[in-house]
Structure 1
Amino acid sequence: MASSNHPPSHRTHVPLPSDSGGNPFDDEAPPVPIHIVTNASQLPAEFLNPSPEKQLVVGFDCEGVDLCRNGTLCIMQLAFQDAIYLVDAIEGGEVLINACKPALESSYIKKVIHDCKRDSEALYFQFGIKLNNVMDTQIAYSLLEEQEGRTRLPDDNISFVGLLADPRYCGISYQEKEEVRLLLRQDPKFWKYRPLSELMVRAAADDVRFLLYIYHMMMKKLNERSLWHLAVRGALYCRCFCINDNNYADWPSIPPIPDNVMVEGDAPEEEILSILDVPQGKMGRVIGRKGVSILSIKESCNAEIHFGGAKGPPDKVFILGPVRQVRKAAAMLRGRMMD
């Protein structure tokens, strides 16, 4: 692996599954370096030059100021088994992030991330990057819950802190996340300051250093059908807020239904993303008083419904899921607009 010209001053632990049955969260394990990257030459060559001969799985996340199309992406975190790289978009600028574009768009590098929607939006609108081949742990968690027979309530999406606390995956407390959230509320420009403070480095690394372990734990449990849903929903999550004029024609194609899950009489339905325009002044009717209307629609349809909200776009509704359920939700939403 490539690294910075200077010995890293920051280190942390990256827990990995152990064949010996040892505790992967044992801090006695050798720590790995945290590299603060301001030049592409500091990144691993196999990351910068994706290859089918050297396929990678990396933990991935982004930090920024109001992370979305109109915000500022400040740091991009990459977790490898032997190092963590904090790609500094403030110091390295567009040249550095664009050097990462082939990897972020590559089907040879799997990016393990928790809830990729806004990260993907920021990458697309700020740098023209179409995030591809993600393993979204929020989606995977929901699929595993369904696979194990648990019913998920609308909008019951696991937070990253909640995922880390689940003993099936990590079983650890991430109290520092709350400290960072408090700082962000007090100063939304927290991630823009340089040089990076010890807290910033530690918090950025903590957001990715557990992802490879969680990935391995989840992949052991997911069945073939769930794996297809994971790939499809990950692709749809990446597209979700990245509206363009060509209906995503220049994006990677959605994974087709594989033959090994095409069971007669129980084949999964194709999943899609549908975007509805909401006329001015109608969003309140769609959502309803205290969210009653939209909750009713979500409970009636097996589809995810997302709003642009304050980060935008504020006049659109995004619906993801099986074709028939998406169409049902869209029809109900249009009905609310006409009330």
Structure 2
Amino acid sequence: MASTQQALPPDPGEKIQGEEEAQFSTVPIHVVTNPSELPVEFLEPSAETQLVIGFDCEGVDLCRHGTLCIMQFSFPDAIYLVDAVQGGEAIVQACKPALESNYITKVIHDCKRDSEALYFQFGIKLHNVVDTQIAYSLINEQEGQARVPDCHISFVGLLADPRYCGVSYDEKEEVRVLLRQDPKYWTYRPLSEQMIRAAADDVRFLLHIYHKMVQKLNGKSLWNLAVRGALYCRCFCINDNHFADWPPLPPIPENIVADGSILEEEVLSVVDVPPGKMGRVIGRRGASILSIKQSCDAEIFIGGAKGPPDKVFIIGPQKQARKAQAILMGKLLDF
């Protein structure tokens, strides 16, 4: 393999204790540039060897127009850093079956931009994800907390939450500073020790968090998590065929229907904004778009500087998404 390092054990004082410590004992970190260096059960997904793995991406301005540099995969016994710079498109395409497979669950924190980069740069339709940002919100809602607009937990915040991990991640901010100073940080080779550690730590705790979260989620929330994760994957990947070539959304489980639970289909709606009108849609200091979010039980995303421009993306229960769309269209007509 191109390089093998050792992950450091948890820092003193972290909340992971007892039997859980074994999960975070030193595990090998493999920097790979050739598909043969990845596990066979990952490269060749099958129903007989279903996997749950942590997943993340690093790059330059990661989106449809940016550059994917590293894909990180965490397994219970190892972490693999797939070097897309040195391995090129061949190694990324070798990972396509796993990234699109229903037999491999990808645990990730906020998959929208990662999915966009994979789709537009490599034609990969990221599928079957468990998005810990979504799961965090669903658990809070399940416990009776009202959904707050734009209240999305950061990865650093999630790691710090003692219910799931209780670890500090100061190095994340250090890397962010370096990225602001030099946006090409992730393109340099060979990978430095800091780059390897930072990339590995972005996935190192994801499986631990996943198991903690799954224990808390009821059947309805688990279905919501699967559907909303699929819609997050599609969010910025708008195409001309309305996602007809993407895998279907997870159906409502029969056991939930049998319980008499009332579930409403969740949808992704896309609203086109006339050129030059996005600022007025957002409003001064975001007041206009915030008022829409407060009026509807749906999530609203804007492409922003990374794009796509002049589009608003709405994810939520069908009635709430339609309500948000109607309010937004009304504002556009006022212009």
TM-score by length of 1: 0.94
Report the CA distance between 1:264 and its aligned residue: 7.2
Aligned to 2:66: 71
SS, match of residue 121 in structure 1: helix
Amino acid at match of 1:316: K
The structure-2 alpha-carbon separation of the partners of 1:42 and 1:230, relative to structure 1 and needing over 3 Å to count, comes to same
SS, match of residue 171 in structure 1: coil
User: Alpha-carbon deviations, 1:8-66, whole Å to 9, x = none?
Assistant: 23334599xxxxx7153479x64110000100000000000000000000000000000
Give yes or no for the alignment of 1:11 onto 2:7. Answer: yes
Contact 2:2 2:33 in 1 (8 A): no
- After the TM superposition, which residues 15-30 of structure 1 pair with which residues of structure 2 at under 5 Å, given as runs? 22=18, 24-25=20-21, 30=25
More helix by share: 2
Aligned to 1:211: 206
Q: Specify which of 298, 309, 312 is matched with residue 314 of structure 1.
A: 309
- 1-side partners of 2:192 and 2:91: how far apart? 21
Q: Specify which of 239, 248, 253 is matched with residue 253 of structure 1.
A: 248
- Matched length: 329
SS, match of residue 262 in structure 1: helix
User: Alpha-carbon deviations, 1:154-200, whole Å to 9, x = none?
Assistant: 00000000000000000111111000010011111100110000100
Let me know the Cα RMSD of the aligned residues: 1.7
- After the TM superposition, which residues 235-274 of structure 1 pair with which residues of structure 2 at under 5 Å, given as runs? 235-262=230-257, 266-274=261-269
User: Alpha-carbon deviations, 1:75-103, whole Å to 9, x = none?
Assistant: 00000011000000000000000000000
- 2-side partners of 1:265 and 1:47: how far apart? 38
Unaligned runs of 5+ in 2: 12-16
The structure-2 alpha-carbon separation of the partners of 1:263 and 1:305, relative to structure 1 and needing over 3 Å to count, comes to farther
Aligned to 1:279: 274
Q: Specify which of 41, 47, 51 is matched with residue 52 of structure 1.
A: 47
- 1-side partners of 2:231 and 2:179: how far apart? 29
Q: Specify which of 161, 169, 182 is matched with residue 166 of structure 1.
A: 161
Aligned to 1:18: none
Contact 1:12 1:33 in 2 (8 A): no
Report the CA distance between 1:5 and its aligned residue: 7.2
Aligned to 1:335: 330
Q: Specify which of 79, 94, 103 is matched with residue 98 of structure 2.
A: 103
Report the CA distance between 1:152 and its aligned residue: 2.6
SS, match of residue 52 in structure 2: strand
Contact 1:14 1:209 in 2 (8 A): no
Give yes or no for the alignment of 1:178 onto 2:173. Answer: yes
TM-score by length of 2: 0.95
SS, match of residue 249 in structure 1: coil
Aligned to 2:14: none
Amino acid at match of 2:201: D
SS, match of residue 321 in structure 2: helix
Unaligned runs of 5+ in 1: 16-20
